[in-house]
Amino acid sequence: MRRNEFENSTYNAQNTPPTAVYVQNSTSDASVNPYERTEVEDLNSDQTIVTDSDTVSNTQQQLNPLRRIFILEPPIFLLNFATSLASVVFTNQLLYQSCKVTFGYTEAECEPMLGISNATINHNIETKVQPYVSRIILANSLVSSIIPAVLALFIGAWSDRFGRRPVLLISLIGIFLGYIVSFILAMVSAGSPTNPWLYVIAQIPPAVTGSSCAVMIVCYCYIADVAPPQLKGLKMVLNDAAIGAGSVIGTLAGSALFAHTSMQVVFVISAAAILLAFVYIYLVNEESMKVAHTTLGYKLCQFFSVSHVIDLVRTCVARRANYMRTFIWFSMIALIITNFTTSGEGNVFYLFLRAKFNVTVSQYSDYNSISDAIQIIGGIIAVIAFRKYLRLSIVSMAMLSLLSAVGESTVRAAAQQFWEMYLATALGFMSGIIGPMLLTPQTKLARCSPSLLRCRQSHRSAHRRSILVFTMLHSPPIRACSILSARCCIC
């Protein structure tokens, strides 16, 4: 197979591609309705199949002005903004409350744990507090990873039957309630000593509604439903750009808000951002599937149907032409390994930087924002330079981005000065496009096999479990090179 032949071919789950002719539906006038459904007649059988791309075309007729520009980029931006806004400063809040409430140190001794200033930190105290906080983070990961990992096995197939919007809206409601619970606990802790373990309760509402795992599964399914086939890859990249932009702005704003206000304000703004995302989807995004009207009880009973898992397994193991099944599995494995290192690292990376370089929240926010910006800009430049002008294949781009991530991890693991972390970030300028480059071929395959999106379902489920495993490996205690050397070896 030539270099770009894969990207210009369409494959199904049979041993060979079907011989088919495309026939304009005789019941419609193409000049009046150019998006009328097209039928595919298989010359080897008597079946007539409605193509996925034509369902997309039918959906495009109803697009309002906002949906002509965006699909789910604004709510995805708001979701990642809210998550990044609270994530880093929340770790400092746990350090501070654990120091003061659990270990009984004074206000003056525990205040440096907030990371707002460059106050001298008693390393003997921090050595005791950090392993304790890492266990709380592990408990949060247990709650926020195990339940969504199980739900991920059912969400995609269920949304195929009953719609994408319910999953998106219910998941956002759960995340919103999680931030409200965190806000209440922060308010209580400001007035009286509060055990930091209570913050684990805030992870329950998002976990039982699928959390961000469910949002991302259905997000990619929704993009595949409504985006024109030739623009699916671009929409994937734009969706990842929204994720990166939300992370950059949220990280920068989080440290500033925490320094000038309080943890309660951070949680309120995060909850407000999730509420805005909910309102946007409710008002702007219409249902992309043709859903049969059934009772709520029937929909709930069908959620945990074993047939969903059987369908998922069959889709992932189906034989495909030209070794496409092998390609799909290798790309999924690469995505899982990448998520194992990047997402799992995020749970303990700030603790590592504090232990190794004694960084403040502001310094970490600056570093994290610059890192995200380099990956966004570097990814765009790399795609334009290597893909458009040098005409490298998507597989070659994916390999280059993985090599970039290896270089970044190697320098991080060997870093002795904080500026070397910035050098590592510069080497990893292409690591941000690993996901789009590995997902785009699967999107192209989905043109003739919509159920292939369920392969991503299993990937997201494994993703949640990989985050949990990584956090368990590096919770007690946080050592200088243990976090990043593991990622370097895995890559």
Q: Please state, in angstroms and rounded to a whole number, the distance separating the CA atoms of residues 227 and 439.
A: 15
Comparing 84 with 380, the larger pLDDT belongs to 84
Lowest mean pLDDT among 96-105, 298-307, 348-357, 376-385: 298-307
Q: Using the predicted structure, report yes or no on whether residue 112 has a pLDDT greater than 70.
A: yes
DSSP labels for 148-196? Answer: HHHHHHHHHHHHHHH-SHHHHHHHHHHHHHHHHHHHHHHHHHHHS---G
CB atoms within 10 A of CB 54: 17
The two three-digit tokens of residue 430, written as one number: 């292409």
Q: What are residue 38's DSSP bridge partners? A: 24
Instruction: Report phi then psi at 406, rounded to 5.
Output: -65, -45
Percent share of the chain, pLDDT over 70: 72
CB atoms within 10 A of CB 14: 13
Alpha helices, H only, 197-289? 204-208, 211-226, 232-260, 263-283
Q: 462 vs 159, 227, 260, 414, 468, CA distance in Å?
A: 19, 26, 39, 29, 10
Q: 117: pLDDT confidence band, cut at 50, 70 and 90?
A: low
| 295 Cβ contact partners less than 8 Å away, ≥ 6 residues apart | none
Number of residues assigned to the chain: 491
Enter the CATH code of domain 58-490. Answer: 1.20.1250.20
- The region, left, alpha or beta by phi > 0 then psi within -120 to 50, assigned to residue 291 is beta
Q: 234 vs 25, 224, 328, 410, 443, CA distance in Å?
A: 30, 11, 20, 31, 11
Q: Please state, in angstroms and rounded to a whole number, the distance separating the CA atoms of residues 339 and 460.
A: 9
Q: 121: pLDDT confidence band, cut at 50, 70 and 90?
A: low
Instruction: List the domain boundaries for the chain.
Output: 58-490
Q: Which has the closest alpha carbon to 340: 465, 474, 466?
A: 466
What average pLDDT does the segment 111-135 reach?
77
Lowest mean pLDDT among 37-46, 96-105, 116-125, 185-194: 37-46
**Which pLDDT score, from 0 to 100, does residue 46 have?**
41
Q: Using the predicted structure, report yes or no on whether residue 261 has a pLDDT greater than 80.
A: yes
Per residue in 441-484, pLDDT tens? 665 554 434 444 554 544 454 444 444 444 444 444 444 343 44
**Which pLDDT score, from 0 to 100, does residue 21 have?**
37
**Which pLDDT score, from 0 to 100, does residue 187 have?**
93
What average pLDDT does the segment 339-353 reach?
72
Q: 65: pLDDT confidence band, cut at 50, 70 and 90?
A: low
Comparing 438 with 67, the larger pLDDT belongs to 438
Contact present, 214 and 173 (Cβ < 8 Å) = no
Percent share of the chain, pLDDT over 90: 15
Q: Please state, in angstroms and rounded to a whole number, the distance separating the CA atoms of residues 489 and 491.
A: 6
**Which pLDDT score, from 0 to 100, does residue 343 have?**
64
pTM for this model (two decimals): 0.70
Nearest 5 degrees, angle CA 74-CA 449-CA 60? Answer: 40
